[in-house]
A and B are shown apart, each in its own frame.
Chain A
Amino acid sequence: MFAFIIRRGLLSLLILFLAVSLLFGMIHMVPGDPATVMLGPKATPELKAEYSRRMGLDRPLVIQLGRFYAGLARGDLGVDPFSERNVVNIVWEQLPYTMMLVLAAIGGASLLGIPLGCFSAIRRNSLLDRLTAVMSVAFIAIPSFVVALYLLLWLAVKWRWFPAMGAGESGNFSDQAYHLVLPAIALGLGWVGYIARLVRASMLEVMEENHIRTARAFGLSERTIILHYALRIALLPTVTILGLGIGSMLSGALFAEIVFSRPGIGKLLYDAVLTRNYPIVMGSVLVTTGFFVLSTLAADVINAFLDPRLREQRGS
Chain B
Amino acid sequence: MSLPVLNIQDLSIHYQTEQGPLQALRDVNLQVPEGKIIGIIGESGCGKSTLISAIIRLLAPNARIGRGSVNFKGRDLLRLSRDHMRALRGDEISMVFQDPMTSLNPVLTIGRQMYDVQHRSAANRAEKTARSLQMLDRVGISDPATQLQRYPHHLSGGMRQRVAIAMALMAEPDLLIADEPTTALDATLEVQIIHRLKELQREFGCSILFISHHLSVIAELCDEVIVMYAGEVVESGSVRDVFIDPRHPYTQKLLECDPARIAQRTRELPVIEGSLPNLVDLPGGCIFRERCSHRLARCGEDRPDLSGNQHQAACHLLDAES
Contacts and interface: CB of A to CB of B under 8 A. Distances in A.
Contact of B89 (A218, A224, A232, A309): A218
B63 to A, nearest CB: 13
A218 B117 contact: yes
A316 interface: no
Contact of A307 (B91, B102, B107, B171): B107
A228 B108 contact: yes
Given A213-B97, A217-B58, A218-B117, A309 B151 contact: yes
A293 B162 CA distance: 44
A231 to B, nearest CB: 10
Contacts of A219: 86-91, 119-120
Interface in A201-218: 209-211, 213-218
A228 B108 CA distance: 9
Interface in B120-164: 120, 151, 153, 164
Interface string A277-308: 00000000000000000000000000000111
B117 A220 contact: yes
B94 A217 contact: yes
A214 B120 contact: no
Contacts of A99: none
B10 interface: no
A307 B106 contact: yes
A220 B99 contact: no
Contact of B105 (A217, A221, A229, A306): A229
Interface of A is mostly: helix
A218 B102 contact: no
B108 A229 contact: yes
B116 interface: yes
Given A211-B104, A307-B107, A309-B151, A217 B90 contact: yes
Interface in B28-80: 56, 58
A45 to B, nearest CB: 67
B192 interface: no
A233 interface: yes
B95 A217 contact: yes
A214 B151 contact: no
Nearest to B88: A219
Nearest to B167: A218
B92 to A, nearest CB: 10
A218 B94 contact: yes
A155 B289 CA distance: 76
Nearest to A212: B105
Contacts of B90: 217-220
Contacts of B88: 219
**Which residue of A214, A215, A217, A232 has the most chain B CB atoms within 10 A of its CB atom?**
A217
Contacts of B102: 209-211
Nearest to A233: B107
Contact of A214 (B103, B107, B119): B103
B236 to A, nearest CB: 25
Nearest to A310: B107
Contact of A224 (B116, B151, B153): B116
Interface string B167-183: 10001000000000000
Nearest to B91: A219
A286 to B, nearest CB: 36
Nearest to A311: B151
A75 B113 CA distance: 50
**Which residue of B87, B105, B106 has the most chain A CB atoms within 10 A of its CB atom?**
B105
A220 B91 CA distance: 11
Nearest to A214: B103
B175 to A, nearest CB: 12
A226 B99 CA distance: 22
A216 B91 CA distance: 12
A216 B89 contact: yes
B95 A308 contact: no
Interface string A210-248: 110111111111001000110011000000000000000
Contacts of B153: 308-309
B85 to A, nearest CB: 9
A220 B90 CA distance: 8
A309 B105 CA distance: 12
Nearest to A213: B58
Interface in A232-276: 232-233
A228 B167 CA distance: 18
18 contacts: A211-B105, A213-B97, A214-B105, A215-B105, A216-B58, A217-B94, A217-B95, A217-B97, A218-B89, A218-B117, A219-B119, A219-B120, A233-B106, A306-B107, A307-B107, A308-B107, A309-B151, A309-B153
Interface of A: 209-211, 213-221, 224, 228-229, 232-233, 306-309
Q: Which 5 A-B pairs give the minimum distances between C-beta atoms?
A: A218-B90, A219-B89, A219-B90, A210-B102, A217-B95
Given A218-B119, A221-B119, A224-B119, 20 more contacts: A210-B97, A211-B103, A211-B105, A211-B106, A214-B97, A215-B105, A217-B89, A217-B90, A217-B97, A218-B116, A218-B117, A218-B171, A219-B88, A219-B89, A219-B90, A220-B90, A221-B86, A232-B107, A233-B107, A309-B106
